[in-house]
Amino acid sequence: MKFSFTSLGCASALPSADRFPSAHVLNVHERLFLIDCGEGCQMLLRKWGYPFLKIDNIFISHLHGDHIFGIFGLLSTMSMMGRTSQLRIFAPAGFSEILSFFMDHFGEMLNYEIVHKSLISQDMDTIMEDRKIKISSFPLNHRVDCYGFRFDEKRPARNIHKALIDEYKLTLAEIASLKSGEDIVRENGQILENLSFTYLPYIPRSFAYCSDTAPFPGLTRFISGCDMIYHEATFGREMAETAHSTMHSTAEDAAMAANAAGATKLLIGHFSSRYKDPSILLDQAREIFPETYIAREGMTFDIPLLK
């Protein structure tokens, strides 16, 4: 059961020959969530083998071009590839104007419905939830309305220790009750305690996406306890003043955010084009948070299942 993140682009606003702007894929149990959609996204989805039509939900952090200029081509291509099912786009309120402009000029070609779900809350907000996952948005600290996203795997149903089924001659009704977390009191007064009869097959996993943002103390509450965090690291420590005046983070800021959140792994990206080799940013982050990695294009980072 996959829970993995792949970056398609880890550049910031200025294009470079070998680095693409923000676009990423989160695979949760073979369901693909596209996070940001910078220029070139659809070619990169092709390059790394992600089927377009498996994407039903797109998450746009904010309306800066390096996070959204790739969406128009993708929307058209999805139609040409035969999409008929609804596509949901979670994006700040201003996206509705952009979408209606697009639909006015190109909407006739589309054979499917696009629903814009507006991000408005200035606190943690559940924007999508089903049996397997809960997805929340939270505000970031950028020059424009900007949101991070948190993906929390739902707690799986408890499994029964098989040997105890025969030993205690558990009925189907008793098994169902134990799986749903209840204790059982039998007619003869015998108590079957849930914790002794069942176990959690795996520990639910979580991932948070933070781009673009200047550091702010409230972030810790939003991303606390996440296994893996993607955090922008546009600049190094020598450019801290520029980073903060443009409402971005340094590699050290990203590392401190991951540290405060108690994360297991940190992925950094959104690098300024001045860093031809971002390993200097990696080194700076690792001084604070050793489990930091560069979110290199096409490289997949799994959150392993722990029992």
Binding site for Zn ion (CB under 5 A): 64, 66, 212
Measured between alpha carbons, how far is 184 from 176 in angstroms, rounded to an integer?
11
Nearer to Zn ion, 224 or 246 (CB): 246
Nearest approach, Cβ of residue 277 and Zn ion (Å):
20
* Catalytic residue from among 36, 66, 152, 212: 66
73-100 burial: b if 16+ Cβ within 10 Å, else e: ebbeebbeeebeeebbbbbbeebeebbe
Nearest approach, Cβ of residue 23 and Zn ion (Å):
11
Nearer to Zn ion, 205 or 270 (CB): 270
Nearest approach, Cβ of residue 214 and Zn ion (Å):
11
Nearer to Zn ion, 3 or 20 (CB): 20
Nearest approach, Cβ of residue 213 and Zn ion (Å):
9
Query: Cα separations (Å) of 70 from 6, 35, 54?
Result: 17, 12, 17
Q: Tokens for 2?
A: 């996959």
Nearest approach, Cβ of residue 64 and Zn ion (Å):
4
Q: What angle do CA 257, 14, 67 make, to 5 degrees?
A: 60
Residue 158 DSSP class: P
Measured between alpha carbons, how far is 248 from 270 in angstroms, rounded to an integer?
10
Pairing relation of β-strands 125-129 and 133-139?
Answer: antiparallel
Which residues lie below 8 Å from residue 276, measured CB to CB, with a gap of 6+?
A: none
CB 142 within 8 A of CB 62: yes
* Sheet strands side by side (includes 55-59): 114-119, 87-92, 55-59, 31-37, 23-28, 3-9, 300-302
277 is catalytic: no
Catalytic residues: 66
